[in-house]
Amino acid sequence: MKLKITSLFVLFTFFTVLGQETYQVSGTLIASDSEKSVSFANAVLLRDGDVFKGSSSDASGAFIISNIPSGKYNLNISFLGYKTYSKEIEVTKTIDLGTIVLQKEIESLDGVTIATKKPVLKREIDRLVFNVAGTALTEENTWEVLRRTPGVIVINNTLSVKNSTPTVYINDRKVHLSASEIYQLLEGTPAETVKSVEVITNPPARYDAQGGTILNIVMEKNLILGYHGSIYGNFTQGVFPRYNGGMNHFYKRNKLHVFASYNYTHSKINRDNDERINYLDNNATTSLWNSDINRNTRSNQHTINLNVDYEIDSKNTLSFSGNLLYLPYWKRRTLTNSVVDDQTAVNEDFSLLAQNSLSKDMHNLGLNVDYVHQFKREGEKLSTNVHYTDYDKGSDQSVFTNYDVVLSPDFTTAFTTHANQTTNILSGQVDYELPISETASFETGIKAASIETNSNLWQFNIENGVSILDVDNSDTFKYDESIYAAYVSYAKNWEKWSIKLGFRGEQTEIKGNSLSTNQVNTQNYFELFPSAYISHKVSNKLSVYADFSRRIVRPSFDDLNPFRYNFTDFSFVTGNPRLQPAIANNYKIGVEINDKFFIEAYYTYDKGSIYELTLQDNDNDILQYVASNIENNVNYGLDFVTYFSILDNWDVSIVTSMFNLSDTFTLDNVQTTQQKWSNYTSIDNNFTFLKDQSLTANLSFLYISSNIQGLSEVSDRNLVSLSFRKTLLNEKATLSLTLNDIFNGQKFTNTTQFVNQNSQYTADFDTQTIRLGFRYNFGNTKLSTNQRTKSSEEQERLKE
């Protein structure tokens, strides 16, 4: 397999060609009011309205933009307090523009109110784009930008779009799967580097078929030479205090771009559950279990990112990126206090107190090498990527239970487990883009990936102080997967119409082997994933559109792992090596009104959806959390999205959705369907205060009515949050204060009641918090970065 991938990327060497001759544009800037040199002004070349290259003026006012191929450009030079200088130039040789005089703005800062650029919501043929560059949102962190992107819902630091968990990309490369990892990464990333967020509900053929909606964070391309850095820290008080801090460094000189960041997080998180289980026999309750469960999770986490870009010449760029998540300390203590009422015999009543201690350490290392070649034809491009992941997780668990039995002697049980999982992923892909004409384009690409996962679990029962291996609950699981993919895509624009068509094919080969049971699961299948988009501009204020895509959801590696993690002697979570991939067909039609209002109707049919189901073993009074395929999931609804300004210093985004979820599942040869109409509504208010606009505030409301998740019904929830952010020290420092979940509305009740299943729990997460943050920028603070975090589709499935 590795040989096949290596052979595939021999293409890399064939496309390293010499670029065409390049030139430079230079000049010297002086101020009209003082005739002094203007230092650190931005000089940017634009091609077709997009930024192509840029630089900044030095202490003498001189600027140089190098490595420019021949062509027509617009030169924009800007500096605070002066009018933007704009000039159209045609580069056919090296150009020295001589002295350029920047004109002073007529208005004084004391006499006017500065108009802040507002975020813009724009629809492209296959995605919704939330442009935030140059807005007040860039003073936030990247997680906050995602949270305030219209259509994105954040619950308990978990992202949701159209009732499903989206996949997060940065510059078209996936990031880590774990929700906590994504949260820590993006919370520590300054939003000043973000250009836009793309919400892609029906992804085109270029993207991996794995998953559903994609959130693609587009980072600003760095333009300015020099060094820029920042340090930051946040302190959060919930039930327990927690904090995180870190630093970001960026350096660009001539052809070399380097970005490095480090983040450390220390946390202690609380969660309380109240649980009630009715074990049944012919719909009659045989025993009733009431439990109080408290979980405290402590962890120390280190995250390191390194990105290096080297411009070989104007046509060829070589890049390296490495991302390391290191978790040296993670410990969860779970206390379960259960009272059991046996409905058949009074003397069988008992109570138990179980203490579960779980500790683990883990590292997740991702490495990428990228090469991009720009051909002489403008827009024609070849991109290659090779990715490697090394993942290692070890965990130790001990469970001690004390039983108090009515009319019988008390007794105790105890056992320990040791588990380890290693995963290695090697993948590579080649993408080619060809502009056929000014209004048509073609894309194609191939990808191959190899995944090897080895897991071990040993359980020891403690009897009279002696550890005895439990062979029945110990196992070794080996899993190998290979994926081969190819795609083609064509896009065409007319005056009023636009279309985009794509086809992606993926061949998957899987072998899973449970050694202790000699249970082998093999799968070998090919699936085709078409996508289609069409839009029509009815008038200047009205557009209609429709799209379709077919997607696949492969099980995470942990879901496939058959090992058992015990909460008590009577409850556990386990994987399922027999899981099959789920296939989803997604349809959408919509209308865009006046570039501000978006109304969409959608329908999704998901065959074989994967859920972690709560299932009761009524014969043995055992509660199992089992990853399972259900027959189908049907999700349809009507969405309304808008983003507009009420006042110059007050803008609002509103998202509301009426949707119907329906899940069908067969248990004990009885088919059951759970169905419910629901609503979620979010209102996000952004305010700007003071003449220099250095104080911003955000007030957000979120409401989710009761809805279906798998075969359970979840009660309604709400979230009210208020945040303030103040820039200080000539905009080099930022102080922030956030009050999250002010009314503790994230507390919810989960009810499972169908066939012979009857259980309920209420969960209270540690979301009601106060956070104080500080950030300080140093160096040339006008810089943007080349930051990106890359991982493969397969690394996405390293689920926590």
Q: Tens digit of pLDDT for each residue in 351-375?
A: 999 999 999 999 989 899 999 999 9
Q: How far is CA 40 from CA 77, 123, 252, 335, 361, in A?
A: 11, 35, 15, 59, 46
Cα 636 to chain centroid distance, Å, stands at 23
DSSP 3-state of 766 = coil
Both structure tokens of 637: 């609804």
List, in sequence order, every beta strand (DSSP E) within 569-621: 571-574, 582-593, 597-607, 610-617
Q: Is the pLDDT of residue 17 over 50?
A: no
Q: Is the pLDDT of residue 100 over 80?
A: yes
Q: Which residue did the predictor score with more confidence, 588 or 513? A: 588
Average pLDDT over residues 589-612: 92
Pick from 38-52, 112-126, 664-678: least confident: 112-126
Q: Tens digit of pLDDT for each residue in 211-253?
A: 888 889 887 755 556 788 889 898 999 999 999 888 888 888 7
Q: Tens digit of pLDDT for each residue in 705-753?
A: 999 987 889 999 999 999 998 989 887 888 999 999 999 999 999 999 9
- The mean of the pLDDT values for the chain is 85
List the domain boundaries for the chain.
16-102, 121-797
Q: Is the pLDDT of residue 9 over 70?
A: no
Quote the pLDDT of residue 181. 66
Percentage of residues in the chain having pLDDT higher than 70: 89
Biggest CA-to-CA distance, the chain: 99
Quote the pLDDT of residue 42. 83
Quote the pLDDT of residue 402. 95
Q: Is the pLDDT of residue 25 over 70?
A: yes
Quote the pLDDT of residue 112. 35
Residues 6 or more apart from 556 whose CB is under 8 A from it? Answer: 177, 797, 798, 799
Pick from 12-26, 35-49, 558-572: least confident: 12-26
Q: Tens digit of pLDDT for each residue in 403-454?
A: 998 878 889 999 999 999 999 999 999 999 999 998 999 999 999 999 999 9
Bridging pattern class, strands 95-102 and 22-31: parallel
Bridging pattern class, strands 757-765 and 475-493: unpaired
- DSSP 8-state assignment for residue 332: E
Average pLDDT over residues 559-564: 83
Q: Is the pLDDT of residue 555 over 60?
A: yes
Highest average pLDDT, of 77-81, 177-181, 521-525, comes from 521-525
Helix spans in 514-584 (H): 557-560
Whether 736 and 772 have beta carbons less than 8 Å apart is answered as yes
Quote the pLDDT of residue 769. 94
Quote the pLDDT of residue 184. 65
792 vs 763: CA distance, rounded Å: 33
Quote the pLDDT of residue 789. 47
554 vs 552: CA distance, rounded Å: 6
Judge: domain 16-102, CATH 2.60.40.10: yes
Average pLDDT over residues 183-198: 75
224 vs 257: CA distance, rounded Å: 10
Cα 462 to chain centroid distance, Å, stands at 42
Report the sign of the C-alpha dihedral through residues 311, 312, 313, 315, in that order. Answer: negative
- DSSP 8-state assignment for residue 14: H
Q: Is the pLDDT of residue 107 over 60?
A: no
Whether 322 and 354 have beta carbons less than 8 Å apart is answered as no
506 vs 485: CA distance, rounded Å: 4
Q: Which residue did the predictor score with more confidence, 190 or 387? A: 387
Pick from 317-326, 340-349, 404-413, 679-688: least confident: 340-349
The rounded radius of gyration (Å) of the Cα atoms in the chain is 29
Average pLDDT over residues 558-572: 86
Quote the pLDDT of residue 781. 54
Both structure tokens of 22: 């390049």
Is residue 180 very low, low, confident or very high in pLDDT (cuts 50, 70, 90)? low
Both structure tokens of 30: 């002086």
611 vs 630: CA distance, rounded Å: 8
Quote the pLDDT of residue 270. 96
Both structure tokens of 688: 């700007």
Average pLDDT over residues 252-263: 85
Q: Tens digit of pLDDT for each residue in 782-795?
A: 444 444 445 445 55
494 vs 491: CA distance, rounded Å: 10
CATH of region 121-797 = 2.40.170.20
Quote the pLDDT of residue 188. 60
Q: Which helix (H) or strand (E) holds 200?
A: strand 194-200
